[in-house]
Amino acid sequence: MPAIGVQLYTVRILLEKDFEGTLAALAAIGLREVEFAGYHGRPPEAVRDALARAGLTAPSAHVPLESVRDDLPRVLEAARVMGHRYLVVAWLPEPQRTLDGYRAAADLFNRVGQQVQAGGMQLAYHNHAFEFAARDGRLPYDILLERCDPRYVAFEMDLYWITRGGQDPLSYFARWPGRFPLVHVKDSSGPPDHRMSDVGAGRIPWNAIFARRQQAGIRHAFIEHDEPADPLASVRRSYEYLRRLEA
């Protein structure tokens, strides 16, 4: 298995109430890695120190598109302080979701990715479902994979959203080997409503996916659930399921 972590968006409400206590609770579950989606109003130095006290590391962080486009030096300095190895863009604004918009995004990612690499890190892109809505017979996700230079741009595949978008992650692993060092791990009830669920409680074929982890290039798997009823219990159930897959 790759390293198992958690995307902190899952526990965002708890972090706002008790930042250090929530990190400690995640570590008590057995996690050693987290992925950030913002630092909750704290300076990077304070966040880094809180992680160290909890025994956690943060190899990856989500960053807004406009930040990497317009404020990259500040983003890189914060990432250096934090020890991130990946900076992940996780959203394209709706007006940009045209074929030409995706091409322009890929070109931007290539330019920014060179600067990120010069800083000792890797730029990546995280999908939702909208990248799998065909436009003029093309899937936008395919355009990104084709146009992004693998030397400078990696991909964080969200396994829930690609499944909800009607695509097979195993097919992408075969077509684009080694391009997916990061994955988001959350389960789905399947059609028609595609309810998010804890990992192992839905219909995504986790055994088959992780059997192909070397082909895909997966190094880090981040548990995520957007709206869990009990965030820590949800993370624990997902983590324990993934650990059983390792056995």
Cβ contacts of residue 55 below 8 Å, gap of 6+?
27, 32
Per-residue confidence (pLDDT) for residue 1, from 0 to 100: 84
**Alpha carbon distance 198, 211 (integer Å):** 20
- Three-point CA angle 115, 116, 121, nearest 5°: 145
| Domain covering 3-246 in this structure, CATH number | 3.20.20.150
Short-list 95, 78, 91, 32, CA closest to 222: 32
pTM: 0.97
> Over the stretch 32-56, which tens digit does the pLDDT of each residue have?
999 999 999 999 999 999 999 999 9
Count CB-CB contacts under 10 A for residue 125: 25
**Alpha carbon distance 247, 156 (integer Å):** 25
| DSSP 8-state assignment for residue 2 | P
Residue in the block written with tokens 């030397």: 151
On whether the CB atoms of residues 209 and 159 are closer than 8 A, the answer is yes
Dihedral of alpha carbons 65, 175, 196, 164, sign:
positive
Per-residue confidence (pLDDT) for residue 23, from 0 to 100: 99
Torsion of Cα atoms, 50 then 53 then 54 then 60, to 10°? 50
**Alpha carbon distance 45, 1 (integer Å):** 31
Domain boundaries along the sequence of the chain: 3-246
Per-residue confidence (pLDDT) for residue 246, from 0 to 100: 81
Amino acid at 195: R
Per-residue confidence (pLDDT) for residue 126, from 0 to 100: 99
3-state DSSP assignment of residue 139:
coil
pLDDT in tens, the chain (247 residues): 899 999 999 999 999 999 999 999 999 999 999 999 999 999 999 999 999 999 999 999 999 999 999 999 999 999 999 999 999 999 999 999 999 999 999 999 999 999 999 999 999 999 999 999 999 999 999 999 999 999 999 999 999 999 999 999 999 999 999 999 999 999 999 999 999 999 999 999 999 999 999 999 999 999 999 999 999 999 999 999 999 998 6
